[in-house]
Amino acid sequence: MKYFLFLFLNIFLISNLAFSEEIFGEAKVIDGDTLRIKKSKIRLEGIDAPEMKQKCKKPYLQISNIIGITFNKEYNCGQKSKKELENKIKKSKINCIIKSKDKYKRYLATCFKGDLNLNQWMVKRGYAVAYKKYSKQYLADEQKAKENKLGIWEGSFIRPEKWRKLN
């Protein structure tokens, strides 16, 4: 019994050590929560950005606060999310701290531009939501973006996880 416990603990420690690595380099943005550095595909852990084909709505015309009529227009919030991440990264070197891999064999990581946590920045600016199913880390950032009507919180949208299920 002690042997099996010893073996299990060693396998567990070795498998966790295998993912305590970093990937550093110039990043190509795939979408609002996925990057590629060299040949590694990296999913920004703890966040969920609108999908590339996802549409959101935002106000474009409001008729008097008294009457309270607002006209909304659709826009491609998935492409907007990607573009904002591209603009933030530009040609910078990005450092990603790998936590594990997901079922699609992408690395799950927290990525940084210098000292700036890009995962957090995306949620804080309203270009992604906290992925509550997997992490509670960015819930406060999401709440601030929502209160300040930033990014997708300016109008209405379906959470990306639900949108994927519907489409």
User: Residue 97 to residues 8, 68, 101, 112, 141: CA-CA distances in angstroms?
Assistant: 25, 47, 12, 8, 20
For the record, the structure tokens of 42 come out as 């990296």
**Higher per-residue confidence, 15 vs 64:** 64
Would you give the DSSP letter of residue 133?
T
Contact 138, 119 (CB under 8 A): yes
Query: Cβ-count burial of 57 within 10 angstroms (0-12 exposed, 13-18 middle, 19+ buried)?
Result: middle
Among residues of the chain, what percentage have pLDDT more than 70? 84
Domains and CATH numbers, the chain: 2-166 (2.40.50.90)
Q: How many Å apart are CA 24 and CA 92, to the nearest integer? A: 10
Task: Report the predicted TM-score, pTM, of the whole model to 2 decimal places.
Answer: 0.83
For the record, the structure tokens of 45 come out as 């852990």
Contact 157, 78 (CB under 8 A): no
Encode pLDDT of 78-119 as tens digits: 999 999 999 999 989 999 999 999 999 999 999 999 999 999
